[in-house]
């Protein structure tokens, strides 16, 4: 017997878990496709099961959780797009400085790894603060270290990419 026919709410929960996983692992792809999977799964479960009240309640909860995840991923994507621009508004700068760094800057190697040089990955960067104070000395050092390191590494990465594309 099909698992979804035995327990449609478990099936729907599993589909939502998969969608959440995909949203975390492949945010750009997930933004385009994942949100449509939950309603399709809900429709399939409704056709299989006669008990729609419990499923509708679960569907509402899962839909809200997924909306939150997708909104967070969209916010991160928007920030990445803004980072590629030359300037930032005051509110954008404030929002970027409120973000938690993905790792402690002290654990980042000064010399870039081969992987960093060969693969195009945008580093976590926050702009210099033009107005106002940094949160603390750690925040200041984190911003400055990452910016200086990127100033040092970016020309090297671009030169290597250019060389590999034109040989």
DSSP state string for 22-53: HHHHSHHHHHHHGGGHHHHHHHHHHHH-S-HH
- Clarify whether residues 63 and 99 are in a common domain: no
Last residue of a domain, one of 82, 116, 134: 82
- Clarify whether residues 93 and 159 are in a common domain: yes
- Clarify whether residues 114 and 48 are in a common domain: no
Please return the burial class of 8, using the count of CB atoms within 10 Å of its CB with bins 0-12, 13-18 and 19+: buried
Confidence of residue 85 (pLDDT cuts 50, 70, 90): low
- Clarify whether residues 77 and 91 are in a common domain: no
pTM of the predicted model as reported, rounded to 2 decimal places: 0.50
- Clarify whether residues 70 and 11 are in a common domain: yes
What's the domain count of the chain? Answer: 2
Q: Per-residue pLDDT tens for 17-40?
A: 787 787 777 766 666 677 677 677
Could you list the residue range(s) of the whole structural domain that residue 56 is in? 3-82
């Amino acid at each position: 017997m099909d698992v979804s026919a035995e327990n449609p709410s478990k099936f729907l929960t599993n589909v939502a878990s998969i969608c959440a996983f995909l949203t975390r692992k492949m945010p750009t792809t997930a933004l385009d496709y994942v949100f449509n999977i939950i309603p399709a799964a809900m429709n399939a479960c409704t056709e299989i099961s006669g008990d729609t009240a419990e499923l509708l309640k679960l569907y509402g909860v899962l839909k809200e959780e997924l909306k939150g995840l997708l909104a967070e991923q969209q916010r991160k994507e928007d920030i990445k797009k803004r980072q590629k621009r030359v300037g930032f508004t005051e509110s954008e700068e404030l929002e970027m400085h409120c973000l938690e760094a993905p790792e402690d800057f002290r654990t980042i190697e000064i010399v870039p790894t081969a992987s960093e040089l060969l693969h195009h990955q945008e580093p976590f960067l926050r702009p210099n603060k033009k107005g106002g104070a940094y949160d603390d000395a750690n925040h200041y050092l984190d911003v400055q270290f990452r910016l200086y390191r990127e100033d040092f590494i970016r020309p090297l990465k671009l030169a290597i990419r250019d060389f590999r594309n034109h040989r």
